[in-house]
Amino acid sequence: MTRFLAWLALIFGCVFFILPLVGMGEFSLKMRRGVYSFDAYRKVFEDPTFWATFGYSLVLAAATIVVGVLLVVPTAYWVRLRLPKARPYVEFVTLLPLVIPAIVVVFGYIRLFNTSSILPLTGTAFGTDFLLTMGYTTLALPYMYRSVDTGLRTIDVATLTEAAQSLGAGWLTILARIILPNVMVAVLSGAFLTLAIVMGEFTMAALLNRPAFGPYMQLLGANRAYEPPALAVIAFAITWGCMGLMQLVTRLAKHERAKA
């Protein structure tokens, strides 16, 4: 009886999540009257704006990941090594992006860095891209910090650091050759989450008026019938692809260096 109920719950859950997806997928195939076709997908892929915005967001995601790793890995390392008492506060700060809406952050940016300010970053495309990258880094901070901190927990940070120091290594060498490779799996899982966030982000890109993938999806959704669900399916495929990669990387890395 309990087994039956468990199965029932599982099936209900699956239906609850999959049915809308199936419906959406089915609808996206119905562009041509009467038959299933990939017309909507072709339309999307033929649209140069799709490729331009997709590429733009991808580049920004890469930049965000690099900035995030450079910011988070040394910080989380240092907090674990030298400031364990500060950990609750640092965690609190990294959680702030979850409670402060992106729109508040971006209005703050615009007020601080507008063309009549001391640092007119919004005046140039590059400056705005830079701002947007910083904004994305902030949004991804909770996920990046948590993954890296979890990764650091699996190694004996203090002793490995001392071993490396006794062999003559400086801080940069320790971070690059010892700490980073040992938390690579965690960094990658943080990176894929960052990628997923950046690809879908709308508010910041729209308000800073940059040609990102999020606003493009929004625009398409407001004006077309069949393409938006096709786009949604594509976005899902990308996200799931990321998840799969994450799993794959984790498994490969485990094989290579299981923790002693």
The site for other proteins (CB under 8 A) is made up of 155-156, 159-160, 162-170, 173, 177-178, 181-182, 184, 256-260
CB of 161 to other proteins, least distance (A): 9
Which residue in the block uniquely carries the two structure tokens 């089915």?
Answer: 26
The residue among 46 and 256 lying less far from other proteins, judged by its C-beta, is: 256
CB of 208 to other proteins, least distance (A): 39
CB of 62 to other proteins, least distance (A): 24
**106 in Cβ contact with 187 (< 8 Å):** no
The residue among 88 and 170 lying less far from other proteins, judged by its C-beta, is: 170
The residue among 100 and 158 lying less far from other proteins, judged by its C-beta, is: 158
94, two tokens? 């990294």
Consecutive H or E run containing 60: helix 48-82
CB of 96 to other proteins, least distance (A): 32
Which residue in the block uniquely carries the two structure tokens 């990658």?
Answer: 188
Reduced to 3 states (helix: H, G, I; strand: E, B; else coil), residue 258 is coil
CB of 152 to other proteins, least distance (A): 13
- How distant, in Å, are the alpha carbons of 125, 183, 238 from that of 150? 37, 9, 25
CB of 33 to other proteins, least distance (A): 58
CB neighbour list of residue 178: distance below 8 Å, 6 or more residues apart: 160, 161, 164, 169
Which residue in the block uniquely carries the two structure tokens 């786009």?
Answer: 231
The residue among 167 and 222 lying less far from other proteins, judged by its C-beta, is: 167
CB of 254 to other proteins, least distance (A): 10
- How distant, in Å, are the alpha carbons of 73, 159, 162, 163 from that of 168? 21, 14, 10, 9
The residue among 32 and 177 lying less far from other proteins, judged by its C-beta, is: 177
The residue among 26 and 162 lying less far from other proteins, judged by its C-beta, is: 162
Q: Considering only CA atoms, which of 258, 29, 174, 132 is closest in space to residue 121?
A: 132
The residue among 76 and 105 lying less far from other proteins, judged by its C-beta, is: 76
Gyration radius of the chain's alpha carbons: 22
Q: Considering only CA atoms, which of 99, 101, 191 is closest in space to residue 145?
A: 191
